[in-house]
Amino acid sequence: MAVELYNDGNHICLAFYDLVDELSDHAVQSNQFLIVDAGHGALIDPGGNMTHNGLLMGMQRWLNSRNLDYILASHADPDIIGSLNKWMVTTHCQVLISRLWTRFLPHFTSGRDYSERIVGIPDQGMLVPLGECKIKAVPAHFMHSEGNFQFYDPVSKILFSGDMGTSLIDHAQAAQPVTDFDAHVDFMAPFHKRYMVANKICRFWVRMVRELDVEMIVPQHGARFEGKAMVNRFLDWIENLPCGIDLMVQDNYRAP
Ligand code: FE
């Protein structure tokens, strides 16, 4: 069932937490998002074939999928955009993704030329007009993908943070906001230490995010951070976390 993260009647943000089959302990839990503004819609990171049908059915109550303007993809991984071919066939949407990945996306499709519907986001990011608002595609390169974007919604003040803030927990826990940050660190630390490329880029990102007015950080896996106090707990934590190449040593590179 979808969780309403924000709803003022004209602008709605929805999160789907349970579309990866709860019995699928072989597949990582992942979240999908829908932003609706004045009857127009954007899906953020709709996922792979496991989530396509559930998301297509689940979204109709808020937006007819024929009115889907965009798929906004943080990067090109299977749990982000693996279902691309189905969305291309069943909707008229454009797909926005880093310019680094536009020519890789056709490998998710049947081979038909969808070039006119695949839009490359430049490295510095862009504004995405949606209904009466503008969603900001903000740079999040190397978090974890080389060409990576997050999506900031200035109406709800939600930052859809992709893999940043991920916690590896089941869908029932993921649907609840984080309440005990210190306990939550255990579910985040191993992922961030390996998937985030270096502390240097985390610090650049934190500096950018502190200049946005963020009420909620909503990652693509696991639970969200609600309210400025909890958002700041996360920013303070990731800003000081050694990760990725910071932790690599020669012993990680010895042939077996
Ligand atoms: Fe990924």
Separation of CA 138 and ligand 1 centre (Å) = 16
Q: Rounded to whole angstroms, how far apart are CA atoms 254 and 256?
A: 6
Q: How confident is the model at residue 20 (pLDDT cuts 50, 70, 90)?
A: confident
Distances (CA, A) of 128 to 69, 84, 100, 155, 240: 10, 19, 18, 13, 32
Q: How confident is the model at residue 6 (pLDDT cuts 50, 70, 90)?
A: very high
Strand pairing of 40-44 and 68-72?
A: parallel
Separation of CA 236 and ligand 1 centre (Å) = 23
pTM (2 d.p.): 0.97
Separation of CA 145 and ligand 1 centre (Å) = 6
Map out the domains of the chain with their CATH numbers: 2-252 (3.60.15.10)
Q: Give 146-180 pLDDT, tens digit per residue.
A: 999 999 999 999 999 999 999 999 888 999 999 99
The answer on pLDDT for 143 being more than 70 is yes
254 three-state secondary structure: coil
Distances (CA, A) of 154 to 105, 137, 185, 220, 239: 28, 11, 28, 19, 23
Separation of CA 78 and ligand 1 centre (Å) = 8
| Confidence (pLDDT) at 144 | 97
Q: Give 47-71 pLDDT, tens digit per residue.
A: 999 899 999 999 999 999 999 999 9
